[in-house]
Structure formats: structure tokens, C-alpha cells
């Protein structure tokens, strides 16, 4: 079985900036440099916040297995209006609160088991870079101090609006700008207010960074002024990413990111958001569904489609995950009683599945089609185990191929050896076999009920009973 990736073209991704699917670029050293907007840490993250984390973490996994070096940066915003508000409400210092929820964010997303980004910068670590960038923007005339704040001058940046397709003169103006030249000018630096318990010195007086400048500064610090992919939720396209472009390109004079990749929103009767109050915390979803189901749930829908979150969809996903796991169990059984020959249909199906799988992911990270390919493999494996059973070498090769696909999606654990049932459960299963042999089926069924009550399931197979966790 070939290990080469059966594709010739470069992976392609849709860019909000060009509104087309574009070939992925690499930076001059061959690395794909990717920056993804992470959470503001003023509370535990919800499953909506987890979507970009999953999408871009798995994209990184895919690109890595596709042979690219990837530098994946995902920031944590730990200075923000909402953090002050939350700190006041909880009666703790804002920096203490931010650090607590930063750690909780890391712990929650660790449970997804998709690895960590290479760098997870925080705002508090980047004040010097932020201040330097603001100073630079003032130098080139794109920013101005005003009453202790510093604002970006939007009408001096010619490309303002190019990402979100807006024009300055069409935008709804809701905010009067008594300290701003233009109502849509946005804050780069906010002067210290008495009720805020942190502040940093700057040439414009004590204060803190505005919301957008941090990402410009952190992205440049971690990836340089120009990189390959900038990701995040579509709700950030305006104003956040628009402002990032204005700041970074205004200060650095080069395009910030080649591809702007945005995931669509999770829905729970309208967009899931903390301000709407219709949220499910990531940790609660993990407790209830487990990481396998949750990861598969995010991946079975394309990242640019809205994703309704609900019990029915998760239950559906859980069944899909079970059927993937069952194919691995079928391989377990077959390996304990292999056949003699070579199953040509299995070999061919796995090649096709692998090809379809990688082609789908090359095409704008099409995970739903990758899932379809995965099920081609599931069925091919089940057919081979039931039918013309292959020899041990082919079974092992089939497992390797199957696990290789699962691994790209972060689901290789579905094929891991399962923890064996405890001895007392296995004893019940053995006893049940005796009862069955003696045709004492009432006793056999009672024993099965007891096994199930203990959380295990018995499946009678030609290789004997298979006891699996329920």
C-alpha cells in the first residue's frame, strides 16, 4: 500500500478577501504560517468558541500529514472590557480572572485531544510590540492621540472595507465621536479609567490596548508581517479582521495574510453567543458526548456552513462514531482469526477511499466529503471481514490505512484497543456461553442482562462473544 498522498495539486482554501478558493501558499521557508483568533478569557468557553479551535487544529493536522511544515498561532485575549466587567462581578482582580479563564480554556480545549497550537500568545506579553506598532501608525499619519486615547484614522487607509466588502460611506454610524475625527475611527489605545484595575504606561499616558491592535502585533511577532492563513469566526470579519488589516498593512506596508479563512457559526436557536445567553459550555458538551463525538460533529459539516447544535444531531453523530469503531472491532476479530488470501476488493476500496479523502480535504478542507470517504473504508472493511477474509498481512495493512485516515481527523482513538472488560464480566460471558451451549436460553439472556447492567455489551460472533463497553 502506497504511503504517498494521492494528490498532485496544492491544497486550496476559500478566502473571504478574494471570495474565491485559492491555492494555499507557503512562506519562503516552505512553512504554512497560520494565525487564528482565539478567545477572550472572561468565562469558560462554549462550544461555539470551540469550532474554530477544532477546525483550524484539524486543518493543521491535515497539512502536517500532507507534508507541510505548519506554524499555528492562536492567541488568547487577556485584556478586554469584558474582563473588567466580569472581574468586578466576581469580585477578583481582572488579571487574576483572565489568567484563571485562560488556564481553563487550555484545559477545556486539551480535552478535545487535537494537540495545541505552536504558539498561544497573550496580550499582556506583547505590550511593547503593541505600543511600537501604535507609534508607527501615528508616525505614518494613520493614527492620532486624542484625550488620552489613540485612534486609527480609517479614511486614511485606502483599503478599508476590502475584507468585508463595505464602504465607509455605506456604514451605519451609531456611535457619536466626540473624541474621534471620524465616527468609525477605532481605538488603538484606551486611556486608563478609574474603575479599571490594570494599566500600562505608554507615550500617550497610562492605559491599555484596544481590541484589534493586539492581534496585529501578536501575529507579526509570531509569524512576521506577512503570512499565509488568517483564520477565525465569520463574525470577526468585521470589524475585527478589517481593523487588523488596516493596522498591520498600514504599519508594515505589506499584505497581512494571503488567505482569510472564516468558519461559520454554531446555532442554538440563533447564533450561539454569550451575550445572547444561549450557550452550551464546551466542558459540559465534552462531559455529555465525549471528545470523539464532539470532534466528529464539528467535522461532519463543512466549516463554512452554519452548524445547528442539538441533541438529535449529536445522537446521529454518536451512531456514526460507533459504526467507525465497529469497523475497528471487526478488524480486531479478523486479526484473531485471519484468512489465507488477498482480498482484492478491500485493497482497491481502501486506495479509492484514501484518494477521495485527501482530494476532499485539498478542496477547501471538505471534511464532510472526507467523512464519506471514511465510510467507504468502513464498509470495505466490514465486507472483507464478513466475506473473503484476508490474511494477516493484508488485515494489518488495512488497519494502518484506516487508522491513517482517522488520524488526520483526530479520531485515531476510535481504532485503539479497548480496555478489556473486568474479569467478573468476562466470567459472566463465559458462563453465558455455557448456558447457550446447553440451550438454556433463559439463563443466557439473564446473564446478558447482568452484563449490560454493568455497562458492557455482548455480541455473539463466529469468533465467540465480543464484550465491549456500551
Partner RNA sequence: GGCGACGUGGCGAAGUGGGAACGCUGCGGUCUGCAAAACCGCCAUGAGCCGGUUCGACUCCGGCCGUCGCCUCCA
Residues in 28-47 that interact with RNA by CB under 7 A: 37-40
Q: Rounded to the nearest whole angstrom, what is the least distance from the CB of residue 410 to RNA in the complex?
A: 18
49-88 binders of RNA (CB under 7 A) = 49, 51-52, 77, 80-82
Cβ atoms of residues 33 and 229 within 8 Å: yes
Q: Rounded to the nearest whole angstrom, what is the least distance from the CB of residue 89 to RNA in the complex?
A: 15
The dihedral over CA atoms of 350, 356, 359, 365, expressed in degrees to the nearest 10, equals -110
Query: Which residue number, 31 or 413, has a Cβ lying nearer to RNA?
Result: 413
d(CA 89, CA 41): 15
215-234 binders of RNA (CB under 7 A) = 232-234
Reduce the DSSP state of residue 407 to 3 states and report it.
helix
Q: Rounded to the nearest whole angstrom, what is the least distance from the CB of residue 140 to RNA in the complex?
A: 23
Show the cell assigned to 79.
485584556
Q: Rounded to the nearest whole angstrom, what is the least distance from the CB of residue 46 to RNA in the complex?
A: 7
Secondary-structure breakdown of the chain: helix, strand, coil percentages, each rounded to the nearest 5 = 50, 15, 35
> Could you tell me whether strands 31-36 and 20-23 are parallel, antiparallel, or unpaired per DSSP bridges?
unpaired
Listing DSSP states for 329-394 in one string gives HHHHHHHHS--SB--HHHHHHHHHHHHHHHHHHHBT--HHHHHHHHHHHHHHHHHHHHSSPBPHHH
Query: Which residue number, 78 or 249, has a Cβ lying nearer to RNA?
Result: 78
Q: Rounded to the nearest whole angstrom, what is the least distance from the CB of residue 118 to RNA in the complex?
A: 19
Cβ atoms of residues 136 and 188 within 8 Å: no
> Applying CB under 7 A, does 207 fall inside the site for RNA?
no
Query: Which residue number, 119 or 352, has a Cβ lying nearer to RNA?
Result: 352
380-409 binders of RNA (CB under 7 A) = 382-383, 385-386
Query: Which residue number, 2 or 174, has a Cβ lying nearer to RNA?
Result: 174
> Could you tell me whether strands 12-15 and 464-469 are parallel, antiparallel, or unpaired per DSSP bridges?
unpaired
Q: Which residues contact 461 (CB under 8 A, 6 or more apart)?
A: 333
Q: Rounded to the nearest whole angstrom, what is the least distance from the CB of residue 22 to RNA in the complex?
A: 15
Q: Rounded to the nearest whole angstrom, what is the least distance from the CB of residue 113 to RNA in the complex?
A: 20
296-335 binders of RNA (CB under 7 A) = 300-302, 304-308, 312-313, 316, 319-320, 322-323, 326, 329-330
Query: Which residue number, 333 or 396, has a Cβ lying nearer to RNA?
Result: 333
> Applying CB under 7 A, does 342 fall inside the site for RNA?
no
237-256 binders of RNA (CB under 7 A) = 237-240
Q: Rounded to the nearest whole angstrom, what is the least distance from the CB of residue 296 to RNA in the complex?
A: 10
Q: What are phi and psi of 450, to 5 degrees?
A: -65, -40
356-385 binders of RNA (CB under 7 A) = 366, 368-369, 371-372, 375, 378-379, 382-383, 385
Distance of CA 460 to the CA centre of its chain: 38
Cα distances (Å, whole numbers) of residue 121 to 13, 141, 398, 432: 25, 28, 41, 57
With CB under 7 A, what is the number of residues at the site for RNA?
85
158-197 binders of RNA (CB under 7 A) = 164-166, 170-175, 184, 186
Q: Rounded to the nearest whole angstrom, what is the least distance from the CB of residue 1 to RNA in the complex?
A: 20
Reduce the DSSP state of residue 22 to 3 states and report it.
strand
> Applying CB under 7 A, does 265 fall inside the site for RNA?
yes
> Applying CB under 7 A, does 280 fall inside the site for RNA?
no
Residue 264's nearest CA partner among 308, 220, 225, 229 is 308
x-marked contacts with RNA along 84-113 as a string, rule CB under 7 A: ------------------------------
Amino acid at each position: 500500500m502506497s504511503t504517498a498522498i494521492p494528490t498532485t495539486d496544492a491544497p486550496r482554501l476559500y478566502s473571504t478577501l478574494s471570495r474565491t478558493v485559492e491555492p494555499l501558499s507557503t512562506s519562503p521557508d516552505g512553512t504554512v504560517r497560520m494565525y487564528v483568533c482565539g478567545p477572550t478569557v472572561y468565562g469558560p468557553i462554549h462550544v461555539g468558541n470551540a469550532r474554530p479551535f477544532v477546525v483550524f487544529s484539524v486543518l493543521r493536522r491535515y497539512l502536517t500529514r500532507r507534508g507541510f511544515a505548519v506554524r499555528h498561532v492562536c492567541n488568547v485575549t487577556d485584556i478586554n472590557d469584558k474582563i473588567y466587567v466580569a472581574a468586578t462581578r466576581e469580585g477578583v482582580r481582572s488579571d487574576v480572572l483572565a489568567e484563571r479563564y485562560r488556564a481553563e480554556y487550555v484545559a477545556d480545549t486539551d480535552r478535545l485531544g487535537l494537540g495545541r497550537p505552536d504558539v498561544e500568545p497573550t496580550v499582556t506579553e506583547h505590550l511593547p510590540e503593541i505600543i511600537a506598532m501604535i507609534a508607527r501608525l501615528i508616525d505614518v499619519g494613520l493614527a492620532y492621540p486624542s484625550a488620552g486615547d489613540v485612534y486609527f484614522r480609517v479614511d486614511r487607509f485606502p483599503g478599508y472595507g476590502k475584507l468585508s466588502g463595505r464602504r465607509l460611506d455605506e456604514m451605519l454610524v451609531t456611535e457619536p465621536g466626540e473624541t474621534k475625527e471620524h465616527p468609525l475611527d477605532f481605538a488603538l489605545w484606551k486611556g486608563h479609567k478609574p474603575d479599571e484595575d490594570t494599566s500600562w504606561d505608554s507615550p500617550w499616558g497610562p492605559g491599555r490596548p484596544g481590541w484589534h491592535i493586539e492581534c496585529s502585533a501578536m501575529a507579526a511577532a509570531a509569524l512576521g508581517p506577512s503570512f499565509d492563513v488568517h483564520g477565525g469566526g465569520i463574525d470577526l470579519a468585521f470589524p475585527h479582521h478589517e481593523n487588523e488589516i488596516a493596522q498591520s498593512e498600514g504599519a508594515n506596508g505589506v499584505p497581512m495574510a494571503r488567505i482569510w479563512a472564516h468558519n461559520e457559526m454554531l446555532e442554538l436557536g440563533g447564533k450561539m453567543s454569550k451575550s445572547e445567553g444561549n450557550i452550551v459550555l464546551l466542558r459540559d458538551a465534552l462531559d455529555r458526548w465525549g471528545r470523539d463525538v464532539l470532534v466528529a460533529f464539528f467535522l461532519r459539516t463543512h466549516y463554512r456552513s452554519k452548524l445547528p447544535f442539538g441533541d438529535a444531531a449529536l445522537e446521529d453523530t454518536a451512531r456514526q462514531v460507533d459504526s467507525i469503531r465497529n469497523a475497528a472491532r471487526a478488524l480486531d476479530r479478523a486479526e484473531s482469526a485471519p484468512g489465507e488470501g488477498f482480498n482484492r476488493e478491500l485493497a482497491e476500496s481502501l486506495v479509492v477511499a484514501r484518494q477521495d479523502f485527501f482530494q476532499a480535504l485539498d478542496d477547501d478542507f471538505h471534511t464532510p466529503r472526507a467523512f464519506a470517504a471514511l465510510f467507504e473504508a468502513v464498509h470495505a472493511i466490514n465486507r472483507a471481514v464478513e466475506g473473503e477474509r484476508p490474511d494477516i498481512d493484508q488485515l494489518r495493512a488495512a488497519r494502518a490505512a484506516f487508522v491513517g485516515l482517522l488520524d488526520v481527523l483526530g479520531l485515531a482513538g476510535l481504532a485503539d484497543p479497548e480496555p478489556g472488560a473486568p474479569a467478573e464480566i468476562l466470567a459472566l460471558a463465559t458462563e453465558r456461553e455455557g448456558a447457550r451451549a446447553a440451550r438454556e436460553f433463559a439463563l443466557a439472556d439473564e446473564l446478558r442482562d447482568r452484563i449490560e447492567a454493568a455497562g458492557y455489551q455482548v455480541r455473539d460472533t463466529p469468533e465467540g462473544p465480543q464484550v465491549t463497553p456500551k
